[in-house]
């Protein structure tokens, strides 16, 4: 997230993440960092379902899923993404 300076770079990072060969929990975490809460919510739900025998992972995934769900409902944006969008509008 630190080296993303334009909305185009942000969208490219989101697309690369979807096609990356990474564990689902890593993808979910990175989607959150990119502000893609819809994707993160879906991925955390997958992590929670697949972690049936690991209650700690399952609980963590449920917490992250609930946060992402709330972020989507309330149209939450990370502060650095707000700044990025504000700079894009000014340009």
Read out DSSP for 39-69? Answer: HHHHHHHHHHHH-TT-HHHHHHHHHHHHHHH
Write out the residue range of the structural domain in which residue 51 sits: 24-90
- Decide if 2 is inside a domain: no
Q: Write the pLDDT tens digit of every residue in 32-90.
A: 999 999 999 999 999 999 998 899 999 999 999 999 999 999 988 887 777 777 776 55
Residue 44 lies in a domain: yes
Domain count, the chain: 1
Q: Is residue 11 part of a domain?
A: no
Residue 50 belongs to a domain: yes
Residue 61 in domain: yes
Q: Is residue 3 a part of any domain in this protein? A: no
Distance of CA 61 to the CA centre of its chain: 13
Q: Does residue 5 belong to any structural domain of this protein? A: no
Q: How far apart are CA 41 and CA 6, in angstroms?
A: 24
Neighbours of 86 (CB within 10 A): 10
* pLDDT tens per residue, range 4-18: 677 778 888 888 888
- Could you tell me the pLDDT band of residue 2, with boundaries at 50, 70 and 90? low
- Residue 5 near residue 84 (C-beta atoms within 8 A): yes
Q: How far apart are CA 52 and CA 11, in angstroms?
A: 33
Confirm whether 68 is domain-assigned: yes
pTM confidence score: 0.77
């Amino acid at each position: 997230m630190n080296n993303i300076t334009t909305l185009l770079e942000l969208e490219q990072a989101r697309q690369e993440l979807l096609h990356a060969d990474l564990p689902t929990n890593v993808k979910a975490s990175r989607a959150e960092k990119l502000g893609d809460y819809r994707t993160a919510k879906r991925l955390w739900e997958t992590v929670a379902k697949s972690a049936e025998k690991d209650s700690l992972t399952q609980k963590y995934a449920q917490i992250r899923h609930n946060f992402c769900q709330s972020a989507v409902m309330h149209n939450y944006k990370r502060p650095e993404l707000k700044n990025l969008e504000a700079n894009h509008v000014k340009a």
